[in-house]
């Protein structure tokens, strides 16, 4: 069994937390979705310069 098949079979119902820059999280989000992870089980937090944009753009 390849790694992708293993992940699809065994990690499908996990809960995932991703933290990082917006581009990093988008890459990881799409990878998890391609593995069949339900988007409701994926939680994200922006870290880096993007996390301050709400303060800078006032």
The per-residue pLDDT string of the chain (58 residues; one tens digit each, 9 = 90 and over) reads: 688 788 777 888 889 999 988 889 899 999 999 888 899 999 988 887 766 666 666 5
* pLDDT at residue 49, rounded to an integer: 72
Tally of domains within the chain: 1
Could you tell me the residue range of the domain that residue 28 belongs to? 15-56
Beta pairing partners, 19: 45
Each as own residue / partner, the long-range contacts of residues 3-11 (CB below 8 Å, 24 or more positions apart, any chain) are 4/35, 7/35, 8/35, 8/36, 11/35, 11/37
Specify if 3 maps to a domain: no
The pairing of strands 42-46 and 16-20 is parallel
* pLDDT at residue 27, rounded to an integer: 93
Specify if 4 maps to a domain: no
Specify if 10 maps to a domain: no
Each as own residue / partner, the long-range contacts of residues 53-58 (CB below 8 Å, 24 or more positions apart, any chain) are none
Rounded to two decimals, the pTM is 0.68
* pLDDT at residue 53, rounded to an integer: 67
């Amino acid at each position: 069994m390849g790694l992708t098949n293993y992940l699809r079979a065994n990690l499908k119902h996990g809960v995932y937390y991703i933290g990082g820059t917006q581009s990093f999280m988008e890459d990881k989000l799409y990878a998890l979705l391609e593995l069949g992870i339900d988007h409701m089980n994926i939680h994200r937090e922006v870290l880096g310069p993007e996390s301050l944009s709400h303060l800078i753009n006032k």
